[in-house]
Amino acid sequence: MIKKVSTGMIRAMKACGEKIAALTAYDYPMAKMLDEAGIPLLLVGDSVGMVVLGYPDTTHVTMAEMEHHVAAAARAKPNALLGGDLPFKSYETVDAAVSNAKRLVAAGAEFVKAEGGREVLPQVKAIIAAGIPFCGHLGMLPQHVLEEGGYHIKGKVEAEHQRLLDDAKLLAEAGAFAIVLELVTPPVAREISQALQIPTIGIGSGQDCDGQILVTHDLVGGFPWFTPRFVKPRAHIAGNIKSVVGEWKNALQTPPTTA
The mean predicted confidence, pLDDT, of the chain is 95
Whole-prediction pTM: 0.94
What sign does the dihedral 33-34-38-43 (CA atoms) show?
A: negative
Task: Judge residue 230's burial from the number of C-beta atoms within 10 Å of its C-beta, 0-12 exposed, 13-18 middle, 19 or more buried.
Answer: middle
Give how far the C-alpha of residue 219 lies from the chain's centroid of Cα atoms, to the nearest Å. 13
Closest CA to 109 of 88, 137, 80: 80
Q: Among residues of the chain, what percentage have pLDDT more than 70?
A: 98
Residue 136: strand pairing partners: 179
Q: Mean of the pLDDT values across residues 104-120? A: 98
Can you tell me the mean pLDDT for 31-36?
98
**pLDDT tens by residue, 71-93:** 999 999 999 999 999 999 999 99
Catalytic residue positions?
A: 182
Question: Averaged over 109-130, what is the pLDDT?
Answer: 98
**Residue range 7-214 in CATH 1.10.10.60:** no
Output helix, strand, coil percentages for the chain, rounded to the nearest 5: 45, 15, 40
State the amino acid at position 77 in one-letter form.
Answer: K
CA 212 vs. chain centroid, Å, equals 10
Give residue limits of the domains in the chain. Answer: 7-214
Kindly report the length of the chain.
Answer: 259
Q: Quickly state the pLDDT bin for 1 (edges 50, 70, 90).
A: low
Under a CB-based contact definition with an 8 Å cutoff, are residues 219 and 199 in contact?
A: no
pLDDT tens, position by position, 154-213: 999 999 999 999 999 999 999 999 999 999 999 999 999 999 999 999 999 999 999 999
Confidence at residue 155, expressed as pLDDT on a 0 to 100 scale: 94
Q: What does the alpha-carbon distance between residue 201 and residue 15 come to, in Å, rounded to a whole number?
A: 14
H or E, element range at 34? helix 28-36
- In tens, the pLDDT along 237-258 reads 999 999 999 999 999 987 776 6
Q: What is the pLDDT of residue 254?
A: 75
Check if the beta carbon of residue 86 is closer than 8 Å to that of residue 107.
Answer: no
Residue 140 in this model has a pLDDT that exceeds 60: yes
64 contacts: CB under 8 Å, gap ≥ 6: none
Which stretch of 16-25, 35-44, 194-203, 222-231 has the lowest confidence by average pLDDT?
A: 222-231
